[in-house]
Amino acid sequence: MTDDTVTVFERSRPGRRAFTVPTTDVPEVPVEDLLPAEAIRETPAELPEITEPELVRHYTTLSSKNFHLDEGFYPLGSCTMKHNPKLHERVAALPGHARLHPLQDPDYAQGALELMWKLQVALGEIAGLPHVSLQPSAGSHGELAGLLLTRAYHEDRGEQRTKVLTPDTAHGTNPATVTMAGYEVVKVGTAEDGGVDVEDLRAKAGDDVACLMLTNPNTLGLFDRNIEEIAHIVHDAGATLYYDGANLNAVMGIARPGDMGFDIVHFNLHKTFTQPHGGGGPGAGPIACSDRIEPFLPIPQVVQAGDGFDLDFDRPKSIGKLRGFQGNFGVFVRSYAYICSLGGDGLKDVSEVAVLNANYLKALLAAPGIKEYLPIAFDRLCMHEFVVSGRGAKEKLGVRTLDVAKRMLDHDVHPPTVYFPLLVDEALMIEPTETETKERLDHFAEVVRAILDEAKDDPQVARTAPHTTPVRRLDEAGAAKRPVVRWRPAPDG
Amino acid sequence: MSRYTGVTDEDLRAMLGAIGVDSLEGLFADIPESVRLGREIDLPPGRSEQEVYEHLAALARRNRSAEEEITFLGAGMYDNYVPALIDTLLSRSEFLTPYTPYQPEISQGGLQVMFEFQTAISELTGLPVSNASVYEGPSAVAAAGYLAKLETKRKRLVASRGLHPHSRAALATHAAGYGMEVVETPLDEEGYTDAEALAAAVDDDTAAVFVQQPNFLGTVEDLGALVEAGKRTGALLVCAADPIPLSILKPPGELGVDICVGEGQTLGNRLDFGGPSFGFFAADERFIRKMPGRIAGETRDVDGRRGFVLTLQTREQHIRREKATHNICTAQALNALAGVVYLSWLGKRGFVELGELLLRRTHYARETLGLAAINPGPVVREFAVRVPDLDAVVARARDAGINPGYRLGRDYPEYPDGLLIAVTERRTKDHIDRLAEVVGAAKPAEVGV
């Protein structure tokens, strides 16, 4: 059993165990006397039988096969893979937070409610929109909340609107959210300079449009210089302007979505506010909004009441609940600790350095020997991220963006986001974040150069990369064609 | 420079020089002056790590956690024991700090965890396909409603009042978006879902029927009968389930349930004042290409080695955009890891032993308290009683360091004096007896009234 791809189920041996059940201190009434026969499970769930030492080794071994942020550079565009301060795990684990029941009477949860209130105030100030709900579970859930708020707002005014505008550079969650919220997606084009095509927007912003969902800076890492005009067009049409906060890390303390004219914002606490990403969650996606949207926010709302804090369920125009309880409180603890650590000037420093790092790395990649193969998609000052195209490498070296990315794995750096945004051919979307030092950025540029130099001599190395990882390229098409999505014991005999 | 950024003066000069701008300010030239903040963000100044720790610890002390009282609060989240090895494993940076595994060659650990998690959930629910987690319980219910819409194109959803109030609320909120109506059906006089009323509420335009096992009051439903009543017009049957009692209760999949969803907090996750935990989503094979969220699949690499990848991604938002089967992106991978480690820790026999302990303690508690049962039939984990003079009893329990449970009145006006009492493996016979004393002490006072 040395193969480290063996599942925990295959490590099972009858009779082994890691768990000892607490003493049965109540009468041992037969299960048959307490449950009707037709409700009783006949065959136990096939869970592993394994000792604690083997269980710990199994998952420790698995963990060693993950590249992770604490190990190295992770410039995954639009994901804001910044350092996760270690203090946050300690404060989140305090029993007063970790063992607090979500239905505890507010009188006995004043610390938690105060923390949520202060986080709401801070997020509202950062966004320039005063009303905050922490409830949504992740960015996409916040987006959905934003469109449900938009629907409620228009319905309250007796308006029926059917369309939502999204730029063709939008994150995939935007159009997916539009459909789930019962609207039709209408795409808005991108202008020469990478911003929204204002004339296209003007033509499409009719009275059937409910909302424009926008990221600013957008997924090209570019701040839309026409944002005020865009906001006017959207508001003149009676629609709401929604801010996808995935790229908020670029503008904290510099410009606020509310001041740009946005009505609703979501925050990705697992991006901008350091919640560790956990290999795919948990996150949290609080929303902030303007006065006219406020009556529709989800229930409950954390409110000030006398000297303390309370949960307000009495909100007649509310869209209701998006999920159970009050949201991902453990995430709120970490993000609040982060804001306390940095303060207002520290948050501004975050955005300044995020933008500095991105522009510096962009300058390094614009050097001869790299730019011929990976040209910058929109060569102007970027914000916290930028996009290069692998077009040159594909045409001149015969290596695709995928190959360049896979070869990076052999250099112990995480590749950028690839093949997104869609309007850039062979895109690589690079977001270094503020927590990387100049040396790390220099090293990444050297890695890129080394990969390209190597490809000039022998493109096959990149085409067949990675070579040093626990597995090499995997058959994804086969996996999708004949899905094996759970382990099953081999048939007897 | 904050303690998380490291640009020295020398770095700054070199970096600005390479970029070709004179100052940091120059980097933001694209932002129109008129939308600039032009002042500091109005927040308290930054503090040292130690000061932040003290501040957060002071806030935590102002909460009364399950560490400081004997709690019988449940209603969807429970004061379970989380084994130490979960703390050890989840705090490993290798699990804590990666992104979603978009590069499978350097994410085999996380991907195999997802595959193992899916296997465990599939075993619990008796359904062949599980995803790798969704946000949490009630929104998982709403996600099942959306799948039913995509699958059936029908317009109505029918939900038993035995479904958690938050699940019914989240279903209604989401359904308002995707354009469906939610109809509620009642519980009967013994706290079971009224199967006849359910059958009557289901029509040809019903996309899905929602029940919960055990239901919100802790009643072990006659799930087979509800499946029969709910599916008679071709609607999908969605069962929300507490995963721990599935150790001893017949798996929903064996009884004809199409989709089983639920809250995963009880599987090795902390209370955390309501999250993060995880939701699970398991379904019949025929829905595999309409499932929400990430799914890990087994495959081979170019050298023939076993490996795991995210699969069936053409369902997902980053590929399919407006045609995606759900908008979910980031879910709850770390919490799901806690789930599969916890289930492996319990193991095949321990899982059953734990379920039986809860069953026995739940029934012992109900008998010992001796209060009028709202749901007198079989219960597990939780049960509901009528408590005369509820305010006084709750106050007395609080004084004795006991949180006696969840008051049903807010969600169920039909039970104004109802108390929902939850039992976990942490609530011993001694705890239950102390609750009984507090409740029992009410009786002489009532005689005097």
CATH number at residue B104: 3.40.640.10
- Specify whether B425 is located in the same domain as B383: yes
A87-341: what fold?
A: Aspartate Aminotransferase; domain 2 (3.40.640)
Q: How many domains does chain B have?
A: 2
Instruction: For residues A319 and A295, give the distance between their C-alpha atoms in angstroms, rounded to a whole number.
Output: 9
Residue that is written with structure tokens 């096959």 in the block: A460
**Tell me: the pLDDT tens digits for B142-158?**
999 999 999 999 999 99
* Residues of chain B contacting A253 with CB distance shorter than 8 Å: 37, 40-41
- Is A1 in the B-facing interface, judged by CB distances under 8 Å? no
Q: Which of A22, A110, A144 sits opposite B425 (nearest CB)?
A: A22
Instruction: For residues A365 and B115, give the distance between their C-alpha atoms in angstroms, rounded to a whole number.
Output: 38
Instruction: For residues B105 and B110, give the distance between their C-alpha atoms in angstroms, rounded to a whole number.
Output: 11
Min Cα–Cα distance to chain A from B106, Å? 5
Instruction: For residues B300 and B307, give the distance between their C-alpha atoms in angstroms, rounded to a whole number.
Output: 5
- Specify whether B362 is located in the same domain as B301: no
Q: Which residues contact A306 (CB under 8 A, 6 or more apart)?
A: none
- Specify whether B308 is located in the same domain as B421: no
Cβ of B346 within 8 Å of Cβ of A19? The answer is yes
- Specify whether B331 is located in the same domain as B432: no
CA B65 from chain centre, in angstroms, equals 19
Residue that is written with structure tokens 């999505």 in the block: A485
* Residues of chain B contacting A328 with CB distance shorter than 8 Å: 272, 274-276
Q: Which amino acid is at B334?
A: L
Cβ of A55 within 8 Å of Cβ of B345? The answer is yes
Shortest CA distance from A441: residue in chain B: B15
Min Cα–Cα distance to chain A from B193, Å? 15
Cβ of A323 within 8 Å of Cβ of B139? The answer is yes
Exposure of A449 by Cβ count < 10 A (0-12 exposed, 13-18 middle, 19+ buried)?
middle
Domain ranges in chain A with CATH number 3.90.1150.10: 346-477
Instruction: For residues A36 and A49, give the distance between their C-alpha atoms in angstroms, rounded to a whole number.
Output: 28
Chain A residues 208-267 with a CB less than 8 Å from chain B: 222-223, 225, 227-228, 251-256, 259-260
Largest separation between any pair of C-alpha atoms in chain B: 87
Cβ of A324 within 8 Å of Cβ of B224? The answer is no
Picking from B325, B341, B357, the residue at the C-terminal end of a domain is B341
Cβ of B332 within 8 Å of Cβ of A98? The answer is no
Residue that is written with structure tokens 């950024």 in the block: B5
> Residue B323 is part of which domain span?
85-341
* Residues of chain A contacting B316 with CB distance shorter than 8 Å: 172
Residue B24 belongs to some domain of the structure: no
- Is A474 in the B-facing interface, judged by CB distances under 8 Å? yes
- Specify whether B363 is located in the same domain as B257: no
Chain A residues 434-453 with a CB less than 8 Å from chain B: 434-435, 437-438
Shortest CA distance from B225: residue in chain A: A38
Range B406-435 average pLDDT:
97
Shortest CA distance from A165: residue in chain B: B322
Picking from B341, B357, B387, the residue at the C-terminal end of a domain is B341
* Residues of chain A contacting B193 with CB distance shorter than 8 Å: none
Q: How confident is the model at residue B200 (pLDDT cuts 50, 70, 90)?
A: very high
Residue B60 belongs to some domain of the structure: no
pLDDT score of B416 more than 70 = yes
Instruction: For residues A383 and A432, give the distance between their C-alpha atoms in angstroms, rounded to a whole number.
Output: 11
- Specify whether B114 is located in the same domain as B229: yes
- Specify whether B326 is located in the same domain as B354: no
Q: Is B409 helix (H, G, I), strand (E, B) or coil?
A: helix
Closest listed residue to residue A349, CA positions, set B23, B27, B2, B16: B2
Cβ of A344 within 8 Å of Cβ of B40? The answer is yes
Phi, psi of B121 (to 5 degrees): -65, -40
- Is A50 in the B-facing interface, judged by CB distances under 8 Å? yes
* Residues of chain A contacting B216 with CB distance shorter than 8 Å: none
Q: Is A304 helix (H, G, I), strand (E, B) or coil?
A: strand
Residue B44, number of CB atoms within 10 A of its CB: 12
Min Cα–Cα distance to chain B from A160, Å? 13
Residue B164 belongs to some domain of the structure: yes
- Specify whether B306 is located in the same domain as B366: no
Residue B17 belongs to some domain of the structure: no
* Residues of chain B contacting A173 with CB distance shorter than 8 Å: 317-318, 327, 329
State the pLDDT at residue B223. 98
Q: How far is CA B76 from CA A104, B216, B383, in A?
A: 13, 8, 13
Instruction: For residues B406 and B420, give the distance between their C-alpha atoms in angstroms, rounded to a whole number.
Output: 5
Min Cα–Cα distance to chain B from A453, Å? 22
pLDDT score of B99 more than 80 = yes
Q: Is A350 helix (H, G, I), strand (E, B) or coil?
A: helix
Exposure of B430 by Cβ count < 10 A (0-12 exposed, 13-18 middle, 19+ buried)?
exposed
Q: What pLDDT tens digit does each residue of chain A (493 aa) get?
A: 458 899 999 999 999 999 999 999 999 999 999 999 999 999 999 999 999 999 999 999 999 999 999 999 999 999 999 999 999 999 999 999 999 999 999 999 999 999 999 999 999 999 999 999 999 999 999 999 999 999 999 999 999 999 999 999 899 999 999 999 999 999 999 999 999 999 999 999 999 999 999 999 999 999 999 999 999 999 999 999 999 999 999 999 999 999 999 999 999 999 999 999 999 999 999 999 999 999 999 999 999 999 999 999 999 999 999 999 999 999 999 999 999 999 999 999 999 999 999 999 999 999 999 999 999 999 899 999 999 999 999 999 999 999 999 999 999 999 999 999 999 999 999 999 999 999 999 999 999 999 999 999 999 999 999 999 999 999 999 999 999 999 998 876 4
- Is A317 in the B-facing interface, judged by CB distances under 8 Å? no
Query: B343-357: b or e for each residue (b if 16 or more CB lie within 10 Å)?
Result: bbbbbbbbbbbbbbb
Q: What sign has the CA pseudo-torsion B19, B23, B28, B29?
A: negative
Shortest CA distance from A168: residue in chain B: B321
Q: How confident is the model at residue B1 (pLDDT cuts 50, 70, 90)?
A: low
Which H or E run contains A244? Answer: strand A240-244
Beta strands in B230-305 (DSSP E): 236-241, 259-263, 279-283, 296-300
Residue B223 belongs to some domain of the structure: yes
pLDDT score of B448 more than 70 = no
- Specify whether B317 is located in the same domain as B432: no
Tokens of A79: 């994901």
Q: Contact at 8 Å (CB) between A14 and A49?
A: yes
Residue that is written with structure tokens 């710990």 in the block: A56
Residue B405 belongs to some domain of the structure: yes
Phi, psi of B395 (to 5 degrees): -60, -45
Residue B376, number of CB atoms within 10 A of its CB: 15
Terminal alpha carbon distance of chain B: 69
Cβ of B328 within 8 Å of Cβ of A138? The answer is yes
Largest separation between any pair of C-alpha atoms in chain A: 80
Torsion of CA B23, B25, B29, B31, to 10 degrees: 160
Domain ranges in chain A with CATH number 3.40.640.10: 87-341
pLDDT score of B281 more than 50 = yes
Picking from B287, B314, B341, the residue at the C-terminal end of a domain is B341
State the pLDDT at residue A493. 42
Residue B274 belongs to some domain of the structure: yes
Shortest CA distance from B272: residue in chain A: A98
Instruction: For residues A162 and A164, give the distance between their C-alpha atoms in angstroms, rounded to a whole number.
Output: 7
How many pairs of residues across A and B have Cβ atoms under 8 Å apart? 720
Mean of pLDDT over chain B: 96
Chain A residues 166-205 with a CB less than 8 Å from chain B: 171-173, 175-182, 185
CATH code, B402: 3.90.1150.10
Tokens of B37: 């903040």
Cβ of A485 within 8 Å of Cβ of B295? The answer is yes
Give the bridge partners for B260, in sequence order: B239, B282
Q: Is B7 left (phi over 0), alpha (psi -120 to 50) or beta?
A: beta
Closest listed residue to residue B213, CA positions, set B169, B182, B167: B167
Domain A346-477 is of which CATH architecture?
Alpha-Beta Complex (3.90)
Closest listed residue to residue A228, CA positions, set A248, A207, A257: A257
- Specify whether B180 is located in the same domain as B97: yes
Report strand pairing: A240-244 vs A209-214. Answer: parallel
What's the CA angle centered on A265, arms A384 and B133, to 5 degrees?
85
Exposure of A392 by Cβ count < 10 A (0-12 exposed, 13-18 middle, 19+ buried)?
middle
- Specify whether B358 is located in the same domain as B210: no
State the pLDDT at residue A492. 66
Cβ of B274 within 8 Å of Cβ of A435? The answer is no
Q: How confident is the model at residue B320 (pLDDT cuts 50, 70, 90)?
A: confident
Cβ of A254 within 8 Å of Cβ of B36? The answer is yes
pLDDT score of B441 more than 70 = no
What ipTM goes with this model? 0.98
Q: Which of A26, A276, A348 sits opposite B41 (nearest CB)?
A: A348
Residue B5 belongs to some domain of the structure: no
Instruction: For residues B82 and B345, give the distance between their C-alpha atoms in angstroms, rounded to a whole number.
Output: 10
* Residues of chain B contacting A129 with CB distance shorter than 8 Å: none
